[in-house]
Structure 1
């Protein structure tokens, strides 16, 4: 118990001004729009290759590999990951600094722990390593790379990776509910936090 208590005390307990409800609604928006963005190239390629719209809803990397071969599966998976990177990394880097569409709709943004802008390295660590890979059950793109890795190794790792990511995601959920800073695992990994947009911009006129 002392180990867990010591770990708990080492976490960031500073107050966060972004309500959990806002983060939840932002996640729902980003999950929906991000999923559409991620699956768009895969579905378009599937229709182009097969002309089969009836099974399009269930298409994934492994389905494409089984029906059309590994090469087309890797192509579809790679394009899906690139589209996901556009949504989760490029948009908050270049279009709405620090904000995905969901965060923008809810009025908060990602910044570094020292209140400076989230740069490319920070977003890659947070969104790709933290969310997509380690917390690998939060977004649709996680399932894409799980399937691509399974295909490459000729092992079905989808379930194992999904449940491992889910465990980390549950830990993150506990952190956001029980710790004042509301920083999740990927925030600690990337040294980021979320702040109210208007308040942050008011305090940082030059940003």
Structure 2
């Protein structure tokens, strides 16, 4: 693979589709513990539509926080462990769309880079970029008893929109998390598919 092919990040429909796929798959993987816990703890087959349903069902805030933390761990597996160890450089969405996360010199990122890019930056800074950030809002709201969801959601939406703008119209076609971790997303050559 030639280094010159790695100077510009992949943009366009394939990266957008991979984002949507990762949003769906990441949300499903991260949400599995909450759905199972709700079913077991309440004995109801009623769908779980909000983590705040645990409180409404009579469970204390500690239960909601614990289950939210477990959901974050499952999200960590999807967004960090899968591209680090299972499909190097690829989440399931990126694998399906033949895209790969690399350093700007074409090398595979380290665990620390995936942790910063996929987990810390995309969940805590660009919170709208993954459904896992929902559990962060629930933990903050439940532990402080101050409904932070709307405010934090608004901040995350603005930051994520800035990142999307940079991705499609910025000079290097890099999102904020790419700038922060010196990574980019490339098309995988046919020999690597």
Q: TM-score normalised to the size of structure 2?
A: 0.90
Q: 1:63 aligns with which of 50, 53, 76?
A: 53
Name the structure 2 match of 1:197.
188
Query: Unaligned 5+ residue runs, structure 2?
Result: 1-5
Query: Using a 3 Å threshold, how does the CA distance of structure 1 residues 166 and 31 change in structure 2: closer, same or farther?
Result: same
Query: Using a 3 Å threshold, how does the CA distance of structure 1 residues 57 and 199 change in structure 2: closer, same or farther?
Result: same
Q: How does 1:8-157 map to 2 (within 5 A)?
A: 16=8, 18-54=10-46, 56-60=47-51, 62-66=52-56, 67-157=58-148
Moved segments of 4+, more than 4 Å: 199-202
Task: Map Cα deviations across residues 9-44 of structure 1 (whole Å, 9 max, x no partner).
Answer: xxxxx9526241010100111111111101100000
CA distance in 1, matches of 2:170, 2:191: 21
Q: How many angstroms does 1:198 deviate by?
A: 1.4
SS in 1 for 2:108: coil
- Does residue 175 (structure 1) correspond to residue 130 (structure 2)? The answer is no
Q: How many angstroms does 1:196 deviate by?
A: 1.5
RMSD: 1.9
CA distance in 1, matches of 2:113, 2:190: 22
Query: Unaligned 5+ residue runs, structure 1?
Result: 1-13, 203-207
CA distance in 2, matches of 1:153, 1:134: 20
Q: TM-score normalised to the size of structure 1?
A: 0.84
Query: Using a 3 Å threshold, how does the CA distance of structure 1 residues 117 and 15 change in structure 2: closer, same or farther?
Result: closer
Q: How many angstroms does 1:48 deviate by?
A: 0.1
Name the structure 1 match of 2:3.
none
Q: How many angstroms does 1:141 deviate by?
A: 0.8
SS in 2 for 1:137: helix
Name the structure 2 match of 1:9.
none
SS in 2 for 1:110: strand
